[in-house]
Amino acid sequence: MQRIVIVGGGAGGLELATQLGRALGRSGKAEIVLVDANSTHLWKPLLHEVATGALDSGIDELDYRGHGKVHGFDFQLGRMCGLDREQQHVILSPIYDEDGDVVLPERNIPYHTLVLAIGSITNDFGTPGAKEHCIFLDSRRQAERFHRTLLNEFLRANSSENPKNLEIAIVGAGATGVELSAELYNTAEVLTRYGMKNVSPKQLSVTLIEAGERILPALPTRISKAATRELEALGVSVRTGTLITEATADGFVTKNDGLISAKLKVWAAGVRAPSFMATLGLETNRAHQIMVDSSLQSEDPNIFAMGDCACVLQADGKPVPPRAQAAHQQATHMFKALKARYKGQPMPEFVYKDKGSLVSLSGYSTIGSLMGNLSSGSMMIEGRLARFVYVSLYRMHQIALHGYWHTLLLSLVGHINKVIRPRLKLH
């Protein structure tokens, strides 16, 4: 029996495992195995909401093992650390408990077909002090760490007779940095409603730092300008054209030796694939991404890569951008390609279709563009329509995992929780 192993349970990897499990795993036509270093899945674009408490990760997470049981695939908990291409084994590093005792030893997972969907991590570009003094938002654990730190700072301010402004600096003005900036002000507003009298948006000092000429550089200029106006109206200090050379305990040092003071420091600038990807014996680029062809196949015919850990060039020579919509499209493509491969048929070529991009500024505004691949350009939308489309992106991910009826029930539960639960995770 063919064994298809998918490493990485992010948006693309989990969607692919679910589709293959339904089509091939349930009927016993192939064995589908999903490997991930975590036991649960949370849609990565929501991590900034976990960080501010706007989303309770314990409610929205999905259990891999339980989901696999329902949808026809097996789940293996583990972190990939190597690859034996000759023996066709994925090597998983040992798992230890809090006391340092081995829970699971190093293991080899055999495969006939391997799909690498490991995703990406934040790229600090080797900036001195970034790892020691900054919080990254690559995982649920990191987002929850930021949330706890943020709440503690607000508690200190609330108990103080003369509270100081809470200084927060965010490096990187892509979607994560922009959305996090807005969510922070929403958090302060909600905490005020829950009785923290010394906490308010006026006591927040948020600085958004971007080395480029404008924020949201991947989006059209008019959207970048609109987002800048919205953020500045909230009170965010937007610093473009500002290169950070060092992170310290006191803040960020700029190229001209200036200091941007900050108690909390977040690094959200750039992404790259995990470093070990460059040690697998496959061709990679400078960002450690696996180079793949138009079918998402690497130089090894039994190994495919998709999502942020893969580099696939478009017709214009530009790589497919590391976005959630790209991972979703590649998951759909890989499902068709692997089914064709299973049947001995030619695999289709992947063509990325830019559907536009949306940025949510918490409850204040949502702006973005649709139909970004049209020759006539993109259509800018904002307000309620943009918010509806933004939420629909997450619903599409849920539909791919659960189907329409299950997603409808999840949506209903979400609306009920808004009524019966606090608007913010307060612990």
Kindly report, residue by residue over 309-335, the tens digit of the pLDDT. 999 999 898 999 988 889 999 999 999
CATH class of 2-120+273-342: alpha beta
For residue 43, give both structure tokens: 């849609």
Find the DSSP H helices in 97-211. 130-133, 140-159, 175-193
Q: What is the value of pTM for the model shown?
A: 0.92
User: Residue 376: what pLDDT?
Assistant: 43
For residue 343, give both structure tokens: 């049947």
Find the DSSP H helices in 160-291. 175-193, 221-234
For residue 20, give both structure tokens: 């293959």
**196 or 239: whose pLDDT is higher?**
239
Find the DSSP H helices in 317-372. 324-342
Model confidence at 377: pLDDT above 90? no
Q: Where exactly does CATH 3.50.50.60 map onto the chain?
A: 2-120+273-342, 130-269
334-363 pLDDT tens trace: 999 999 998 889 999 999 998 877 788 877
What is the arithmetic mean of pLDDT over 237-258?
Answer: 94
What is the arithmetic mean of pLDDT over 242-260?
Answer: 94
Contact 339, 305 (CB under 8 A): no
**246 has which bridge partners?**
253
**376 or 419: whose pLDDT is higher?**
419
CATH fit for domain 130-269, picks 2.120.10.30, 3.40.50.12780, 3.50.50.60, 3.90.660.10: 3.50.50.60
For residues 307, 310, 316, 322, the Cα torsion angle rounded to the nearest 10 degrees is 40
For residue 42, give both structure tokens: 């949370």
For residue 261, give both structure tokens: 């003071």
Q: Which residues contact 65 (CB under 8 A, 6 or more apart)?
A: 39, 75
Q: Which residues contact 266 (CB under 8 A, 6 or more apart)?
A: 134, 135, 136, 137, 146, 168, 169, 170, 171, 177, 180
Model confidence at 159: pLDDT above 80? yes
Q: Report CA torsion sign: 338, 339, 345, 346.
A: negative
